[in-house]
Structure 1
Amino acid sequence: MVVKLLVKILVGFFCLFGFVNPVIYGDNFGELLEAVITHLQCGDPDNLDNWTKDMSLALRRDQQQRLAWNIPWVEIQDKGASQLEMQQQLNPSNPLKLRLWMSFYWHLKRSRSLDPILTTNFALKLRELQKRNEDMWSPALQNMWQSLPKSLKIILQSRWLCLQHKRQMLYVVSGYKLELGANSNCSMWQIQSENQDHWLRLINFCDDSSLFFINLWHSSAEVGMLQSNPSLKASKFCVFNKVGYFKDASKADIDCQWQVNDCSNLPKILNQNKHVS
């Protein structure tokens, strides 16, 4: 089906020709698609940003959507750009670029190519859009958010976490003690950014000397590791016979696997229970 388009775009530095040149797209959808592919293969973020900004004004929403969902991502990646480079290049700054970014995500999702780093980067950008760009938020972005790993969503949107052992179901509280259930404020851990390599510091509500470190890049699975320092080589907090301790461990060690729960409302729940009793 041919989409009627007549768009005159100044594309800046066009990587195929190397000079500023007005490009006129006729009524052939294929020509427009080829132009998008060319811009994506250029690897010039500024050029792509300016071009998609102009195209966002020139195309209707349905035209932008059709364009984004017909991008041959496999072909583009086969010709040079890595997945991480493509993700960075598609950082959404206008409506068309946002649709291209979403299309790329679902391509990676369908092809099972989303590694922890890519997943975390998508999640962080979605959270940023959710909090700071409400005008860009949409049901399509909400669906994208819902498709992310549960643990990663909990970490990014919670003020306080509770940390539960995956196998023994015990909660770690202040002083690295273990309890059956999140029964007090001392079960709560505040999230603070370490501002390096996606590390987060978890500080206990009752004792700020009780702390763990987790890495967002390694939190896209449903289980994670609680570490003594912001280093992948640091010792992990494990449980054996209901006793907690730090040791060197791998991801496969079931004694050291934890899951996170959102405990932001725990003080309110505890207060209500106190009044009831």
Structure 2
Amino acid sequence: MWWYVGKRLLQTIPVFLGATLILFSLLKLRPGDPILNLAGNKPVSQEVRDALAAQYNLDDPLFVQWVLFVKNAITFNFGETFSGQPVFDLIKDTFPVTVVLAVMALAIDAILGIILGTLAGLRRNGAFDTVVLVISLILISVPIFVVGFVAQLTFGVKLQWVPATVGGDWTLSELVLPAIVLAVANFAYTIRLTRTSVAENLTADHVRTARAKGLSNRLVVRNHVLRNSLVPVVTYLGINLGALMAGAIITETIFNIPGVGNTAFLAIQRGETSTVVAIVTFMVMVYVLMSLLVDLLYAVLDPRIRYV
């Protein structure tokens, strides 16, 4: 198994190089002048422009900027933001709140999604199954930014059950509503995936054999249906944790959460290419590592799976 882990870790090298190169290329296509953004859109003399361009390597060719970034990133030196703060310190300060938000969203997604999906699968084609499928379809159809603004307006502004925005001194209670918003669309997919997997395993040969042996319905569902049904669900949930952290930019922006996503959004507006690339690359690596952990969990859920 260790050979498999080492081989997967080596695969992160081309992923890192490819992701950073693509990001550099895309960010260079965005309109606007980063030096003017740095100066607050005020007139800048040629001397100041040349000094800033030299400081941040803005006049170098794209490939040269990318090579310099990769060279420094190996030693975790991601450069500085336009305000002079080291990018690594910026990630270290903002990453915890994004992790907490993503874990809370994943917990809501996993608990409700698996429970409702399992019940719908066990009652396939029944009234409960129909209601769950309709609700999940509605949740999938509504964009997350619409859900976020409606939830913020309803529960934060009108009813005032929770703070409308989070701000710098965040607490767990303030992250509950953003976590629910972040989990909504993924929660619907978890329901449908669990429901389909449970329904398929109910008609499998090993389940019919277990029933023929006289096992109770509870034991059959717990030991033979759920365990096999959770393999694709765990795959989705594990990879989804990385996707939640990387995709929290909309939710963090709506609720003013000082996380990695909101920081990346502000850096894009200011034209800080190195900052954006460093943050997004960091999230890509988190996504890759979560994918590896999910693969290793397969062997726990299904003893037939072995890695060599």
Greater helix proportion = 2
Of structures 1 and 2, the one with the larger relative CO (CA 8 A, separation 6+) is 2
Greater strand proportion = 1
Same fold (TM over 0.5): no
